[in-house]
A = this chain, B = another copy of it.
């Protein structure tokens, strides 16, 4: 999160410390950014200057270019930059004092897979990075406090109607521009990358005022928080829109791990098992024509494979199909994909051609075993195909496990 003042010259130093290409789009900058902050290679550093001419609440997010812009933002690479206006917001002008609390809130969504992202099925919807973050740690306020909220819906895809239970927003400003004033609102409506500044005075009664998106099928997934009003509450001055710190490792007791590009929690939600199709064993026909075998599809979608884990009987044909639409450009910036086995301990290698949108490639799996594969263009895309076969009963069933 960044806060600057209207008219400031802002210098951004962007260093790519990762192993894949990234970039940066800064919505507060009214100047060319693709040229200066796009397609930043691993290890590369760029410096960029702009003048913060427009006051308000803006989004920034990763922007390697092309297809990668959406795919990286979906992964959570986004934040808020506030340009404080020279002109005073109205309630500050009326009260002749700054807010008691500046509350910076970024709403965003977490997805379990690129397929879920395409379909708008968020697993979690959060304020400042965590599920129910401010339910677990309520924000202290005092009755009568003047609160200014800087609200940004970072999306990437869903709409929000931000509301407080037990209150009516006094003044609201679309995009945070002090000239875009409206009054007396139960909600502010924000699509992805929309923002509002909200001014409100905590009513004179102690208790819990609940912040929530009134899009209730997303609130129920985590976008709820509490302002806890008490007369002797500590004055904290501000709550910053900082998200979760990246974990060094996943806790052993994690109930669910979202890894949209990779496998995530091995909890079967993204595992598909194909039973032996009787129509593949016994010849069947439609009238005088043999029934064409129906391949099992693995989609490339939103920089991930779907299903992530596929279990098939030996002899099954798998059709890889690229559902990503933007197949121009290259590297992180393209939605082209392939599938390449990486596990040298697997039964045998396979590799598909690089597929553009809507292109397909079929592989028939004749050797049982586990195939672990990635996309060579986006190597964090990971999938597993397990090919199973009847156990040779005379040999006494499967052997004891030799490796994990």
Listed in ascending order, the chain A residues whose CB lies under 8 Å from chain B are: 25, 27-35, 53-56, 58-59, 63, 67, 69-71, 73-74, 117-121, 124, 131-132, 135-136, 155-157, 159-161, 163, 165-168, 174-175, 177, 179-180, 182-187, 189-195, 203-210, 212, 214-222, 224, 229, 255-256, 267-269, 271, 273, 275-279, 282-291, 294-295, 297, 302, 311, 313, 319, 321, 324-326, 328, 335, 347, 356-360, 368-370, 386-391, 393, 397-402
Contact = CB atoms under 8 A, between A and B. Distances in A.
Instruction: Name which of A275, A388, A393 has the most chain B CB atoms within 10 A of its CB.
Output: A388
B155 A290 contact: no
B284 A390 contact: yes
A325 B122 CA distance: 12
B285 A388 contact: yes
Contacts of A179: 182-184
A390 B283 contact: yes
Contact of A180 (B183, B278, B359): B183
3 closest cross-chain pairs (CB), A and B: A255-B358, A156-B216, A193-B214
Given A118-B220, A157-B217, A208-B34, A358 B283 contact: no
A67 to B, nearest CB: 7
Given A278-B276, A368-B285, A191 B159 contact: yes
Given A214-B192, A302-B220, A175 B165 contact: no
A73 B213 CA distance: 13
A32 B124 CA distance: 28
A278 B275 contact: yes
